[in-house]
Structures are given as C-alpha cells and as structure tokens.
Amino acid sequence: MTEREKVIEVRNLRNQFGAQVVHDHLDLDVYRGEIVGVVGGSGSGKSVLLRSIIGLNRPAAGSVTLLGEDMMRVADARRAQIESRCGVLFQNGALFSSLTVADNVAVPLREHYRLPLALMQRLANLKIALAGLPAEAGAKFPSELSGGMVKRAALARSLALDPDILFLDEPTAGLDPIGAAAFDQLILTLRESLGLTVFLITHDLDTLYTICDRVAVLSQKRVLVADTLARVENYDDTWIREYFQGPRGRAAEAAAEIAATRGERTSKSIAAEAAPTKN
C-alpha cells in the first residue's frame, strides 16, 4: 500500500500567551486530498492552531511542516511561496469593505503576481463563479451582500491563487440550514474538482457528518484524537460523548445516513437507466 502524503505535519506544538498555555505537545497530521474537521470546546485554541499552521502566529515551541517544508526554519522568500499555495477563509469573511467583491478576490493576485488588469479581472470572475456566486456579485461591495454571499465571496478570494490546501474557519457559522448545507456541498465539489485538501474548523455537526473524512478533537491542550467520525464519537471522553452522542449529534448522524442512502439509491437508478436492455 502506498503511504499517503502528509501536507500538514504538526509536532510537539506549544502555543503560549504570557502565562496562558493554549497548546502543549500537540501533534496533528493532515493528508493530501482529505477534509479534516477540527472541533473542541471554547478556549481549546482551534483558531490559534490554524493561525500557527499558516504562519500568522509563531509557536513557542514545536514544528510545523507545510507541503514538505519546515515553516519554522524556511527563508522568508520560500515561506511566501509556500503560503501562496494555501487559501484561507477567515471567520466572518474578513473582506475589505472598501473594495468590490471582484477587487477583493484580486488582492492575492496583485500581491503575488504582476498581471495585466484584464487578466486579473477574468481570473477574479472565474473564482467568483467557482464559489457559486452570480457574475453580477463581482461589482458589489461586501455591505451589499447577504451573509451567505459574503462567505462565498471570501471563499472565492481564498481560491484566487489555485491553492493546494484550503483553510476554513467556521465557514457555515451564521448561515441558515439550507445555506449551510449548500456551502458544504460546494466544498465537496471543489475538493473533487480541484483536488484540494481542506482543514476545517467548525461547530456544525451537520458539516462534520456530511463532508469530513476525519475529525480532530482539541482538548487538554492537545489533539485528543484524530480519526474517522465512527471512531471519534465512541472515544472515551466526557466532552466527546456530550458533543457527538447528545440529541444534536444523533440528529446530525441520522440526517447524514439518510442523505447517504438517498445518494446510493440515486446512483443505482442512474446505473440501471444506463444499462443496456435485452430484447
């Protein structure tokens, strides 16, 4: 069996702010092509972990290897090249309010490349379409968008440089159930069509059950467990039991099972219709 490629490797990570230790001896691996959901209680340091991986926070100790490069030792020029292969959707979108959606999407292109204006506009329009927004959304300002459209505009910007890894911080927070489900399906589609690896922070149990290949639970200043949902939800820990086996968790699991059954039936129907008939 071919060994899977690690695109993120965190070892013995320690994050500390003054006397407060957020992470200690934290280890985590993320493999190419998978969607990993990161969960944990309030104050467990989910966003701090994300920021440490993408270089916005320098850990007190430990190592972060990103796409095969030790980010604690790599030169600044090389660091910029590696970081350009990562797309980030921050909480609440973090769009520039004074720029249109198209100009927001073009910001990474302006920062990393010298391209003709017309080409940048075409690339921005392409990413806007990939994020599931109508073409006219490009000319709008963030204040003119709904919450769901802001999320998609931020997603379009995160795709601007054709990243290998997509980092999503609470992407469905604040969305209604229909909008959240549509966003989840969009992430699945992008993963399949673009070959993305996705590092996802979320509290949304529906998202975990619908799109995540593995789930990492932050607790006790480290990754307590990182495995498939079937194994994680049965892990012997009080917080995990309350989170996954409570009413909300059982409902999300049941919904995922129903959706999977419907998908299987649809696939079988399509196959039956495509099969040649005997005369």
The predicted model scores a pTM of 0.86
Cβ neighbours of residue 259 closer than 8 Å, sequence gap 6 or more: 210
Q: Is the pLDDT of residue 19 over 50?
A: yes
pLDDT confidence of residue 153 = 95
pLDDT confidence of residue 259 = 56
Beta bridge partners of 64: 10
Q: Is the pLDDT of residue 149 over 90?
A: yes
Other beta carbons within 10 angstroms of residue 254's beta carbon come to: 11
Q: Is the pLDDT of residue 262 over 50?
A: yes
Token digits of residue 191: 């993963």
The upper half-sphere exposure of residue 50, i.e. CA atoms within 13 Å in the direction of its Cβ, equals 25
Euclidean distance between CA atoms 163 and 194, whole angstroms: 9
- Summarised one tens digit per residue, pLDDT across range 103-128 is 999 999 988 888 889 999 999 999 99
pLDDT confidence of residue 37 = 97
pLDDT confidence of residue 268 = 46
Average pLDDT over residues 39-45: 91
Residue 272 burial by Cβ neighbours in a 10 Å radius (0-12, 13-18, 19+) = exposed
Percent of the chain with pLDDT over 90: 68
- Summarised one tens digit per residue, pLDDT across range 197-210 is 999 999 999 999 99
- Domains, the chain, in order of start with CATH, read 1-78+193-269 (3.40.50.300)
Q: In what helix (H) or strand (E) does residue 183 lie, and over which residues does it extend? A: helix 177-194
pLDDT confidence of residue 13 = 96
Highest-confidence segment of 32-36, 72-76, 249-253: 32-36
Average pLDDT over residues 178-182: 93
